[in-house]
Structure 1
Amino acid sequence: MTKSKPKDVPPGKRKRSTREKLLDTAGELLAEFGIDRVTTNLICERAGVTPPALYYYFADKYEVVVALGKRLMDRQNEALERWLDRHLDGGIRAYAENTLELLRETAEITEAEPGGIWIERALHSSPRLEHVRIESHRYVTDKLTEIYVPMLPGYPRELIWLRMRMLVEFGYVATELLHAESGMEREAILAETAQMQRLATLAFLD
Protein backbone atom coordinates (compact mmCIF):
# COMPACT_ATOMS: atom_id res chain seq x y z
CA MET A 1 0.00 0.00 0.00
CA THR A 2 1.42 3.35 -1.02
CA LYS A 3 1.68 5.92 1.76
CA SER A 4 0.13 9.25 1.02
CA LYS A 5 2.54 12.11 0.70
CA PRO A 6 2.47 14.49 3.73
CA LYS A 7 0.74 17.75 2.96
CA ASP A 8 2.99 20.78 2.78
CA VAL A 9 2.41 23.25 5.58
CA PRO A 10 2.09 26.80 4.24
CA PRO A 11 5.18 28.85 5.19
CA GLY A 12 3.07 31.37 7.09
CA LYS A 13 1.63 28.66 9.32
CA ARG A 14 5.06 27.14 9.93
CA LYS A 15 6.42 30.51 10.97
CA ARG A 16 3.52 31.24 13.27
CA SER A 17 3.78 27.82 14.87
CA THR A 18 7.50 28.27 15.57
CA ARG A 19 6.95 31.76 16.92
CA GLU A 20 4.16 30.65 19.26
CA LYS A 21 6.27 27.73 20.46
CA LEU A 22 9.13 30.09 21.27
CA LEU A 23 6.79 32.42 23.14
CA ASP A 24 5.18 29.60 25.15
CA THR A 25 8.62 28.27 26.04
CA ALA A 26 9.92 31.70 27.01
CA GLY A 27 6.90 32.26 29.25
CA GLU A 28 7.50 28.97 31.06
CA LEU A 29 11.19 29.80 31.52
CA LEU A 30 10.34 33.25 32.79
CA ALA A 31 8.26 31.63 35.53
CA GLU A 32 11.09 29.22 36.37
CA PHE A 33 14.11 31.51 36.31
CA GLY A 34 13.03 35.15 36.16
CA ILE A 35 13.91 37.62 33.43
CA ASP A 36 17.54 38.10 34.47
CA ARG A 37 18.46 34.42 34.07
CA VAL A 38 16.53 33.68 30.90
CA THR A 39 18.67 33.73 27.76
CA THR A 40 17.93 33.23 24.08
CA ASN A 41 20.09 30.10 24.13
CA LEU A 42 18.06 28.68 26.99
CA ILE A 43 14.82 29.40 25.12
CA CYS A 44 16.17 27.68 21.99
CA GLU A 45 17.40 24.66 23.94
CA ARG A 46 14.07 24.17 25.72
CA ALA A 47 12.03 24.79 22.55
CA GLY A 48 14.21 22.48 20.47
CA VAL A 49 15.06 25.04 17.82
CA THR A 50 18.30 26.57 16.60
CA PRO A 51 19.32 30.14 17.52
CA PRO A 52 18.84 31.35 13.91
CA ALA A 53 15.20 30.24 14.17
CA LEU A 54 14.70 32.48 17.20
CA TYR A 55 16.59 35.40 15.68
CA TYR A 56 14.34 35.20 12.63
CA TYR A 57 11.60 36.61 14.88
CA PHE A 58 13.37 38.35 17.77
CA ALA A 59 16.56 40.39 18.07
CA ASP A 60 17.12 39.53 21.74
CA LYS A 61 15.37 38.19 24.82
CA TYR A 62 13.75 41.56 25.53
CA GLU A 63 11.98 41.41 22.18
CA VAL A 64 10.73 37.97 23.18
CA VAL A 65 9.33 39.33 26.45
CA VAL A 66 7.83 42.34 24.63
CA ALA A 67 6.01 39.88 22.35
CA LEU A 68 4.89 37.88 25.38
CA GLY A 69 3.56 41.04 26.99
CA LYS A 70 1.72 42.14 23.86
CA ARG A 71 0.16 38.69 23.44
CA LEU A 72 -1.05 38.68 27.04
CA MET A 73 -2.35 42.25 26.87
CA ASP A 74 -4.13 41.48 23.58
CA ARG A 75 -5.89 38.50 25.13
CA GLN A 76 -6.93 40.56 28.13
CA ASN A 77 -8.16 43.34 25.84
CA GLU A 78 -10.22 40.88 23.82
CA ALA A 79 -11.95 39.91 27.07
CA LEU A 80 -12.64 43.59 27.75
CA GLU A 81 -14.20 44.04 24.32
CA ARG A 82 -16.44 41.00 24.82
CA TRP A 83 -17.48 42.37 28.22
CA LEU A 84 -18.26 45.80 26.78
CA ASP A 85 -20.44 44.23 24.08
CA ARG A 86 -22.17 41.96 26.59
CA HIS A 87 -23.37 44.80 28.81
CA LEU A 88 -23.74 47.63 26.30
CA ASP A 89 -27.54 47.71 26.47
CA GLY A 90 -27.46 48.17 30.25
CA GLY A 91 -25.43 51.36 30.11
CA ILE A 92 -23.16 52.76 32.83
CA ARG A 93 -24.98 50.99 35.64
CA ALA A 94 -24.59 47.57 34.00
CA TYR A 95 -20.85 48.11 33.58
CA ALA A 96 -20.52 49.22 37.20
CA GLU A 97 -22.49 46.25 38.54
CA ASN A 98 -20.56 43.67 36.46
CA THR A 99 -17.00 44.81 37.13
CA LEU A 100 -16.25 41.67 39.14
CA GLU A 101 -16.97 39.56 36.07
CA LEU A 102 -14.32 41.40 34.04
CA LEU A 103 -11.74 41.33 36.83
CA ARG A 104 -12.17 37.60 37.29
CA GLU A 105 -11.93 36.86 33.57
CA THR A 106 -8.81 39.02 33.23
CA ALA A 107 -7.15 37.20 36.13
CA GLU A 108 -8.03 33.81 34.65
CA ILE A 109 -6.53 34.78 31.28
CA THR A 110 -3.30 35.82 32.98
CA GLU A 111 -3.11 32.60 34.98
CA ALA A 112 -3.75 30.46 31.88
CA GLU A 113 -0.97 32.15 29.91
CA PRO A 114 2.43 30.38 30.06
CA GLY A 115 4.35 32.47 32.59
CA GLY A 116 1.52 35.01 32.64
CA ILE A 117 2.05 36.15 36.22
CA TRP A 118 5.76 36.66 35.60
CA ILE A 119 5.13 38.43 32.32
CA GLU A 120 3.03 40.99 34.21
CA ARG A 121 5.79 41.44 36.77
CA ALA A 122 8.40 41.89 34.04
CA LEU A 123 6.29 44.61 32.41
CA HIS A 124 6.40 46.51 35.71
CA SER A 125 10.01 45.89 36.66
CA SER A 126 11.90 46.70 33.47
CA PRO A 127 12.06 50.18 31.88
CA ARG A 128 12.59 48.44 28.53
CA LEU A 129 9.22 46.70 28.83
CA GLU A 130 6.89 49.11 30.59
CA HIS A 131 5.75 50.71 27.31
CA VAL A 132 3.86 47.49 26.50
CA ARG A 133 1.77 47.79 29.67
CA ILE A 134 1.21 51.53 29.31
CA GLU A 135 0.16 51.31 25.65
CA SER A 136 -2.28 48.51 26.47
CA HIS A 137 -3.77 50.34 29.45
CA ARG A 138 -4.23 53.47 27.33
CA TYR A 139 -5.98 51.35 24.71
CA VAL A 140 -8.36 50.02 27.38
CA THR A 141 -8.93 53.56 28.63
CA ASP A 142 -9.73 54.75 25.11
CA LYS A 143 -12.22 51.90 24.61
CA LEU A 144 -14.01 52.69 27.87
CA THR A 145 -14.04 56.41 27.12
CA GLU A 146 -15.46 55.77 23.65
CA ILE A 147 -18.34 53.84 25.24
CA TYR A 148 -18.95 56.21 28.17
CA VAL A 149 -18.84 59.63 26.46
CA PRO A 150 -22.22 59.28 24.66
CA MET A 151 -23.76 58.03 27.92
CA LEU A 152 -22.48 61.02 29.92
CA PRO A 153 -23.25 64.16 27.91
CA GLY A 154 -22.74 66.37 30.97
CA TYR A 155 -19.11 65.36 31.47
CA PRO A 156 -16.06 66.62 29.54
CA ARG A 157 -14.33 63.86 27.59
CA GLU A 158 -11.03 64.68 29.29
CA LEU A 159 -12.49 64.04 32.75
CA ILE A 160 -14.03 60.73 31.69
CA TRP A 161 -10.70 59.64 30.17
CA LEU A 162 -8.78 60.63 33.30
CA ARG A 163 -11.10 58.72 35.62
CA MET A 164 -11.09 55.67 33.34
CA ARG A 165 -7.29 55.75 33.10
CA MET A 166 -6.96 55.76 36.88
CA LEU A 167 -9.54 52.98 37.29
CA VAL A 168 -7.81 50.84 34.68
CA GLU A 169 -4.45 51.20 36.41
CA PHE A 170 -5.99 50.53 39.80
CA GLY A 171 -7.75 47.41 38.52
CA TYR A 172 -4.57 45.88 37.12
CA VAL A 173 -2.47 46.71 40.17
CA ALA A 174 -5.13 45.36 42.52
CA THR A 175 -5.48 42.07 40.65
CA GLU A 176 -1.71 41.61 40.75
CA LEU A 177 -2.17 41.26 44.51
CA LEU A 178 -3.75 37.88 43.74
CA HIS A 179 -0.24 36.51 43.24
CA ALA A 180 1.85 38.90 45.32
CA GLU A 181 0.05 38.97 48.67
CA SER A 182 -0.39 35.69 50.51
CA GLY A 183 -2.21 37.29 53.43
CA MET A 184 -5.34 38.16 51.43
CA GLU A 185 -7.96 35.83 50.01
CA ARG A 186 -8.41 35.80 46.25
CA GLU A 187 -12.14 36.44 46.27
CA ALA A 188 -11.76 39.21 48.83
CA ILE A 189 -9.27 41.03 46.58
CA LEU A 190 -11.50 40.67 43.52
CA ALA A 191 -14.67 41.66 45.37
CA GLU A 192 -13.12 44.69 47.07
CA THR A 193 -11.53 45.89 43.83
CA ALA A 194 -14.84 45.50 41.99
CA GLN A 195 -16.69 47.41 44.70
CA MET A 196 -14.26 50.33 44.60
CA GLN A 197 -14.45 50.49 40.81
CA ARG A 198 -18.24 50.18 40.99
CA LEU A 199 -18.55 53.18 43.32
CA ALA A 200 -16.20 55.28 41.22
CA THR A 201 -18.15 54.47 38.07
CA LEU A 202 -21.57 55.10 39.65
CA ALA A 203 -20.30 58.50 40.83
CA PHE A 204 -20.82 59.63 37.24
CA LEU A 205 -24.56 59.20 37.77
CA ASP A 206 -24.79 61.24 40.98
Structure 2
Amino acid sequence: MAKTRTIKKTKPAPERATPQQERAMQTRDHLLDVAGELLGEVGIENISTNMICARAGMTPPALYRYFKDKHAVLETLGQRLMDRQNEALLRWVERYTPDGIDTLTTHLEDLMRETARITKAEPGGAWIERALRASPKLAHVRVASHRFVTDRITDAFAPLLPGVPRKALWRRVRLTVEFGYATDEMLDEEDLIPRNDIIRDAARILNLAMLDLQRRDD
Protein backbone atom coordinates (compact mmCIF):
# COMPACT_ATOMS: atom_id res chain seq x y z
CA MET A 1 0.00 0.00 0.00
CA ALA A 2 1.44 3.37 -1.02
CA LYS A 3 2.33 5.66 1.83
CA THR A 4 0.66 9.04 2.00
CA ARG A 5 3.19 11.77 1.55
CA THR A 6 3.10 14.48 4.19
CA ILE A 7 3.81 17.97 2.92
CA LYS A 8 5.93 19.81 5.43
CA LYS A 9 5.05 23.48 5.71
CA THR A 10 7.99 25.82 5.49
CA LYS A 11 8.31 28.30 8.32
CA PRO A 12 9.05 31.87 7.29
CA ALA A 13 12.64 33.00 7.82
CA PRO A 14 12.57 35.27 10.89
CA GLU A 15 13.57 38.85 10.29
CA ARG A 16 15.62 40.87 12.75
CA ALA A 17 13.83 43.56 14.71
CA THR A 18 12.59 46.36 12.47
CA PRO A 19 14.78 49.42 13.00
CA GLN A 20 13.10 52.46 14.51
CA GLN A 21 15.70 55.19 13.97
CA GLU A 22 15.53 57.00 10.64
CA ARG A 23 19.16 56.28 9.72
CA ALA A 24 18.77 52.57 10.44
CA MET A 25 15.55 52.49 8.41
CA GLN A 26 17.32 54.15 5.49
CA THR A 27 20.13 51.59 5.70
CA ARG A 28 17.65 48.72 5.72
CA ASP A 29 15.74 50.15 2.75
CA HIS A 30 19.03 50.66 0.88
CA LEU A 31 19.88 46.99 1.41
CA LEU A 32 16.45 45.99 0.14
CA ASP A 33 16.76 48.22 -2.93
CA VAL A 34 20.16 46.71 -3.73
CA ALA A 35 18.83 43.20 -3.19
CA GLY A 36 15.90 43.89 -5.52
CA GLU A 37 18.22 45.16 -8.26
CA LEU A 38 20.49 42.12 -7.88
CA LEU A 39 17.54 39.75 -7.91
CA GLY A 40 16.60 41.13 -11.32
CA GLU A 41 20.18 40.67 -12.54
CA VAL A 42 21.21 37.26 -11.20
CA GLY A 43 18.00 35.50 -10.13
CA ILE A 44 16.86 33.86 -6.91
CA GLU A 45 19.29 30.94 -7.17
CA ASN A 46 22.45 33.04 -7.42
CA ILE A 47 21.78 36.04 -5.21
CA SER A 48 23.65 35.94 -1.89
CA THR A 49 24.13 38.11 1.18
CA ASN A 50 27.81 38.59 0.25
CA MET A 51 26.74 39.85 -3.18
CA ILE A 52 24.24 42.24 -1.62
CA CYS A 53 26.86 43.57 0.80
CA ALA A 54 29.44 44.07 -1.93
CA ARG A 55 26.98 46.05 -4.08
CA ALA A 56 25.75 48.07 -1.08
CA GLY A 57 29.28 48.83 0.15
CA MET A 58 28.64 47.19 3.50
CA THR A 59 30.08 44.31 5.49
CA PRO A 60 28.12 41.06 6.14
CA PRO A 61 27.85 41.78 9.90
CA ALA A 62 26.12 45.05 9.04
CA LEU A 63 23.54 43.22 6.93
CA TYR A 64 22.99 40.59 9.62
CA ARG A 65 21.89 43.31 12.04
CA TYR A 66 18.76 43.56 9.89
CA PHE A 67 18.33 40.14 8.27
CA LYS A 68 19.09 36.61 9.40
CA ASP A 69 19.92 35.26 5.95
CA LYS A 70 19.23 35.55 2.22
CA HIS A 71 15.68 34.26 2.52
CA ALA A 72 14.89 36.84 5.21
CA VAL A 73 16.02 39.54 2.77
CA LEU A 74 13.84 38.12 0.00
CA GLU A 75 10.91 37.65 2.38
CA THR A 76 11.09 41.30 3.42
CA LEU A 77 11.44 42.39 -0.20
CA GLY A 78 8.26 40.50 -1.01
CA GLN A 79 6.42 41.88 1.98
CA ARG A 80 7.42 45.44 1.11
CA LEU A 81 6.15 45.11 -2.45
CA MET A 82 2.91 43.43 -1.34
CA ASP A 83 2.34 46.16 1.26
CA ARG A 84 2.81 48.90 -1.32
CA GLN A 85 0.42 47.21 -3.73
CA ASN A 86 -2.09 46.64 -0.95
CA GLU A 87 -2.01 50.31 0.03
CA ALA A 88 -3.11 51.12 -3.51
CA LEU A 89 -5.93 48.59 -3.20
CA LEU A 90 -7.13 50.16 0.06
CA ARG A 91 -7.13 53.63 -1.51
CA TRP A 92 -9.11 52.27 -4.46
CA VAL A 93 -11.70 50.63 -2.21
CA GLU A 94 -12.08 53.76 -0.09
CA ARG A 95 -12.47 55.97 -3.15
CA TYR A 96 -15.03 53.98 -5.13
CA THR A 97 -17.07 51.87 -2.68
CA PRO A 98 -19.46 54.72 -1.71
CA ASP A 99 -20.52 55.02 -5.37
CA GLY A 100 -21.65 51.40 -5.65
CA ILE A 101 -20.76 48.12 -7.34
CA ASP A 102 -20.92 49.49 -10.89
CA THR A 103 -18.37 52.20 -10.11
CA LEU A 104 -16.06 49.69 -8.45
CA THR A 105 -16.09 47.31 -11.38
CA THR A 106 -15.80 50.13 -13.90
CA HIS A 107 -12.57 51.30 -12.26
CA LEU A 108 -10.87 47.91 -12.00
CA GLU A 109 -8.56 48.99 -14.80
CA ASP A 110 -7.43 51.95 -12.70
CA LEU A 111 -6.44 49.59 -9.89
CA MET A 112 -4.57 47.30 -12.25
CA ARG A 113 -2.65 50.19 -13.77
CA GLU A 114 -1.68 51.54 -10.36
CA THR A 115 -0.54 48.08 -9.24
CA ALA A 116 1.54 47.75 -12.41
CA ARG A 117 3.08 51.18 -11.80
CA ILE A 118 4.07 50.22 -8.26
CA THR A 119 5.62 46.94 -9.40
CA LYS A 120 7.61 48.68 -12.15
CA ALA A 121 8.87 51.34 -9.73
CA GLU A 122 10.06 48.74 -7.21
CA PRO A 123 13.71 47.67 -7.66
CA GLY A 124 13.47 44.16 -9.11
CA GLY A 125 9.68 44.28 -8.78
CA ALA A 126 8.85 41.69 -11.44
CA TRP A 127 11.52 39.35 -10.13
CA ILE A 128 10.25 39.73 -6.58
CA GLU A 129 6.83 38.57 -7.75
CA ARG A 130 8.44 35.59 -9.49
CA ALA A 131 10.41 34.70 -6.37
CA LEU A 132 7.24 34.76 -4.27
CA ARG A 133 5.68 32.26 -6.62
CA ALA A 134 8.75 30.09 -7.21
CA SER A 135 10.13 29.58 -3.71
CA PRO A 136 8.25 27.48 -1.12
CA LYS A 137 10.00 29.52 1.57
CA LEU A 138 8.44 32.72 0.25
CA ALA A 139 4.99 31.55 -0.88
CA HIS A 140 3.40 32.42 2.47
CA VAL A 141 4.06 36.13 1.83
CA ARG A 142 2.14 36.05 -1.46
CA VAL A 143 -0.72 33.91 -0.13
CA ALA A 144 -1.18 36.04 3.00
CA SER A 145 -1.19 39.23 0.94
CA HIS A 146 -3.69 37.86 -1.57
CA ARG A 147 -5.98 36.72 1.22
CA PHE A 148 -5.75 40.16 2.84
CA VAL A 149 -6.72 41.79 -0.45
CA THR A 150 -9.56 39.29 -0.88
CA ASP A 151 -10.87 40.09 2.60
CA ARG A 152 -10.85 43.84 1.95
CA ILE A 153 -12.56 43.57 -1.44
CA THR A 154 -15.12 41.13 -0.03
CA ASP A 155 -15.84 43.55 2.82
CA ALA A 156 -16.47 46.30 0.25
CA PHE A 157 -18.61 44.20 -2.09
CA ALA A 158 -20.67 42.25 0.45
CA PRO A 159 -23.07 45.11 1.40
CA LEU A 160 -23.54 45.84 -2.31
CA LEU A 161 -24.39 42.20 -3.11
CA PRO A 162 -26.61 41.12 -0.19
CA GLY A 163 -28.03 38.17 -2.12
CA VAL A 164 -24.61 36.52 -2.63
CA PRO A 165 -23.41 34.31 0.26
CA ARG A 166 -20.17 35.68 1.70
CA LYS A 167 -18.38 32.37 1.18
CA ALA A 168 -19.24 32.38 -2.53
CA LEU A 169 -18.28 36.04 -2.83
CA TRP A 170 -14.93 35.47 -1.09
CA ARG A 171 -14.17 32.52 -3.39
CA ARG A 172 -14.91 34.53 -6.53
CA VAL A 173 -12.90 37.51 -5.32
CA ARG A 174 -9.98 35.27 -4.34
CA LEU A 175 -9.86 33.88 -7.87
CA THR A 176 -10.01 37.34 -9.43
CA VAL A 177 -7.21 38.55 -7.14
CA GLU A 178 -5.00 35.68 -8.27
CA PHE A 179 -5.84 36.47 -11.88
CA GLY A 180 -5.03 40.13 -11.34
CA TYR A 181 -1.61 39.40 -9.91
CA ALA A 182 -0.88 36.88 -12.66
CA THR A 183 -1.67 39.67 -15.12
CA ASP A 184 0.78 41.96 -13.31
CA GLU A 185 3.49 39.32 -13.68
CA MET A 186 2.61 38.83 -17.35
CA LEU A 187 3.28 42.50 -18.11
CA ASP A 188 7.01 41.92 -17.73
CA GLU A 189 7.08 38.62 -19.61
CA GLU A 190 4.80 38.80 -22.65
CA ASP A 191 6.24 41.14 -25.27
CA LEU A 192 3.89 39.98 -28.05
CA ILE A 193 0.98 41.92 -26.54
CA PRO A 194 1.19 45.66 -25.72
CA ARG A 195 1.05 46.38 -21.98
CA ASN A 196 -2.02 48.58 -22.37
CA ASP A 197 -3.88 45.80 -24.16
CA ILE A 198 -3.03 43.28 -21.44
CA ILE A 199 -4.31 45.56 -18.70
CA ARG A 200 -7.42 46.59 -20.61
CA ASP A 201 -8.45 43.06 -21.57
CA ALA A 202 -7.68 41.67 -18.11
CA ALA A 203 -9.82 44.38 -16.52
CA ARG A 204 -12.70 43.43 -18.82
CA ILE A 205 -12.39 39.77 -17.80
CA LEU A 206 -12.41 40.71 -14.12
CA ASN A 207 -15.37 43.01 -14.68
CA LEU A 208 -17.34 40.15 -16.26
CA ALA A 209 -16.51 37.90 -13.31
CA MET A 210 -17.97 40.42 -10.88
CA LEU A 211 -20.98 41.25 -13.08
CA ASP A 212 -21.81 37.55 -13.05
CA LEU A 213 -22.10 37.76 -9.28
CA GLN A 214 -24.25 40.85 -9.63
CA ARG A 215 -26.68 38.91 -11.85
CA ARG A 216 -26.86 36.19 -9.19
CA ASP A 217 -27.80 38.89 -6.69
CA ASP A 218 -30.72 40.16 -8.81
Whether 1:104 aligns to 2:113 is: yes
Q: Residue in 2 aligned with 1:126?
A: 135
Q: CA deviation at 1:205?
A: 2.1
Shift of the 122–11 alpha-carbon distance from structure 1 to 2, 3 Å rule, reads closer
Amino acid at match of 1:95: L
**Which of 40, 50, 58 is equivalent to 1:31?**
40
AA in 2 matched with 1:68: L
1:136 to 1:11, Cα distance in 2 relative to 1, 3 A = closer
Moved over 4 A (4+): none
Deviations along 1:118-148, one digit per CA (max 9) or x if unpaired, are 1011111111111111100000000011111
* Sequence identity (%): 53
* RMSD of aligned Cα (Å): 1.2
2:61 aligned to 40, 46, 52, which one? 52
Tell me what 1:63 maps to.
72
In 2, the alpha carbon distance for the partners of 1:48 and 1:91 equals: 51
Match of 1:198 in 2: 207
Secondary structure of the residue aligned to 2:204 is helix
Amino acid at match of 2:183: A
Q: How many residues align?
A: 197
Q: Deviations over 1:44-85 (max 9, x none)?
A: 111111111111111111110100000000000000011111
Say which structure is richer in helix.
1
Q: 1:11 deviation in Å? A: 6.7
Partner-residue secondary structure (3-state), 1:183: coil
C-alpha distance in 2, partners of 1:64/1:122? 12
Give the structure 1 partner of residue 122 of structure 2. 113
Structure 1 residues 11 and 187: CA distance shift in structure 2, 3 A: closer
Selected match of 1:187 from 196, 208, 218 = 196
What does residue 172 of structure 2 align with? 163
Aligned letter for 2:64? Answer: Y
State the shift of 1:174 in Å: 1.8
Q: Structure 2: which amino acid aligns with 1:131?
A: H
TM-score normalized by the length of structure 1: 0.93
State the TM-score, normalizing by the size of structure 2.
0.88
What is the CA distance between 1:18 and its match in structure 2? 1.0
Q: Which runs of 5+ in 1 are unaligned?
A: 1-9
Secondary structure of the 1:57 match is: coil
The Cα offsets for residues 18-60 of structure 1, whole Å up to 9 and x where unpaired, read as 1101000100111111111111011011111111111111111
Between 1:71-80 and 1:11-20, the stretch displaced more is 11-20
